[in-house]
Amino acid sequence: MEAVSPATKSTRTAHLVDGSLYVFRAWHSMPNEFFDVAGHPINAVHGYTRFLCELLERAQPEHIAVAFDASLTSSFRNAIYPAYKANRELPPPDLERQFVQCRAITEALGIHLMIDHSFEADDLIGSTVWNLRALGWRSVIVSADKDFGQLLGEHDEQWDYARSLRWGPAGVHERLGVHPHQVADYLALCGDAVDNIPGVPGVGAKTAAALLTHFGSLDSLLDRIDEVGYLRFRGAAACALKLREHGEKARLYRRLTRIALDAPGASAADTLLRRPDAQNRLDNLCDELNFGAFTRSRLRSLLR
């Protein structure tokens, strides 16, 4: 993994967190032994709260936002391609309830919350990165999702918090074999099983990277498709046939894999300034969630 060069002291930094990822991780990893005052399970809330406390203590960000997905079925991508994410089961009611509670904890800690029914968390983060970059800010995207590689500018970082790994634009190439501006094309070609995007049949990750290294972009590749069969890799002729057959579908898939930059993300840095809420709101949440003394004390310390 690349060594990310530290930002200059004058560079202003915003931390942008892929909240849904860390709620799902907590849901799958935390034992089902925590309950709120109504008797509902809150294992995901406990795990997410622990993650958020650790992040705030470790990074001490002055400007931060957490983005959540509102739905698996109402994104603009579903209108383009109804099969998008159709392989995923909707969260059960117990998890939906905990998502609401995780969002409440986020806001009670004075963190800007981003959520929208037409755009996904990726789009809200991407649009915020784009808006802040125009104002001279750098972004640290807290997520392990490879899709975010397409957002990284010269001074930006992605932070896989669970693995304590950080990387910038060069790290995208080390991981995927393509540069940030090629990531959407790369995913359109080789597909993304997590999001139910099939890609071009027979084009795997290595082939997609090789094609983009040679042609630069998906559009250039499809414009010069006659050259593919003459490239020096195994199965080049068959690959050319598949690209002829599925080229327009690949352009469609790119509309799914490209993170939107016109979503209602934060447009001003002041929006992301942490504004710890009144302590009584946090105390009420702690009572509702049946948090113990240690968690309560930890949360209160973050309001100072």
Calpha distance 148→151 (Å, rounded): 6
93-99 average pLDDT score? 96
Calpha distance 108→131 (Å, rounded): 25
The band of 276, judged by pLDDT with boundaries at 50, 70 and 90, is: confident
Judged by DSSP in three states, 167 sits in strand
* Tens digit of each residue's pLDDT (9 = 90 or more) over 70-85: 977 889 999 999 999 9
Calpha distance 119→121 (Å, rounded): 7
Q: How many CB atoms lie within 10 A of CB 79?
A: 10
Bridge partners (DSSP) of residue 157 are: 140
How high is the mean pLDDT of the chain? 94
Can you give the pLDDT at residue 9?
Answer: 43
Element (H, E) at 55: helix 43-59
Return the residue matching tokens 């936002």. Answer: 65
Reply yes or no on whether the pLDDT at 123 is more than 50.
Answer: yes
The band of 2, judged by pLDDT with boundaries at 50, 70 and 90, is: low
Q: Are strands 165-167 and 64-69 parallel, antiparallel or unpaired?
A: unpaired
* Tens digit of each residue's pLDDT (9 = 90 or more) over 199-227: 999 999 999 999 999 999 999 999 999 99
Contact (Cβ atoms closer than 8 angstroms) between residue 180 and residue 253: no
Can you give the pLDDT at residue 11?
Answer: 75
Can you give the pLDDT at residue 72?
Answer: 77
**DSSP states along 193-251:** GGGTB--STT--HHHHHHHHHHHSSHHHHHHTGGGGGGSSSTTHHHHHHHHHHHHHHHH
173-179 average pLDDT score? 97
Reply yes or no on whether the pLDDT at 148 is more than 60.
Answer: yes
Length in residues, the chain: 304
pTM of this prediction exceeds 0.85: yes
What is the signed CA dihedral for 196, 201, 206, 212, rounded to 10 degrees?
Answer: -90
Token pair in block for residue 67: 């983005």
Q: Tell me the percentage of the chain whose pLDDT exceeds 90.
A: 90
Token pair in block for residue 243: 């690209």
CA distances to 51, 52, 239 from 46, in Å:
9, 10, 48
Calpha distance 192→228 (Å, rounded): 23
Query: Which distant-in-sequence residues (6+ apart) come within 8 Å of 1 by Cβ?
Result: 165, 166, 167, 171, 174
Reply yes or no on whether the pLDDT at 5 is more than 70.
Answer: no
Return the residue matching tokens 């139910």. Answer: 196
86-98 average pLDDT score? 93
The band of 4, judged by pLDDT with boundaries at 50, 70 and 90, is: low
Reply yes or no on whether the pLDDT at 178 is more than 50.
Answer: yes
Can you give the pLDDT at residue 8?
Answer: 46
The band of 141, judged by pLDDT with boundaries at 50, 70 and 90, is: very high
173-190 average pLDDT score? 98
The band of 142, judged by pLDDT with boundaries at 50, 70 and 90, is: very high
| Domains (range + CATH), the chain | 12-171+260-299 (3.40.50.1010), 180-257 (1.10.150.20)
* Tens digit of each residue's pLDDT (9 = 90 or more) over 255-275: 999 999 999 999 999 999 998
Q: How many CB atoms lie within 10 A of CB 73?
A: 13
Can you give the pLDDT at residue 73?
Answer: 84
* Tens digit of each residue's pLDDT (9 = 90 or more) over 231-254: 988 889 999 999 999 999 999 999
Sheet holding 165-167, edge to edge: 112-116, 64-69, 12-18, 137-142, 157-160, 165-167
Token pair in block for residue 33: 């032994």
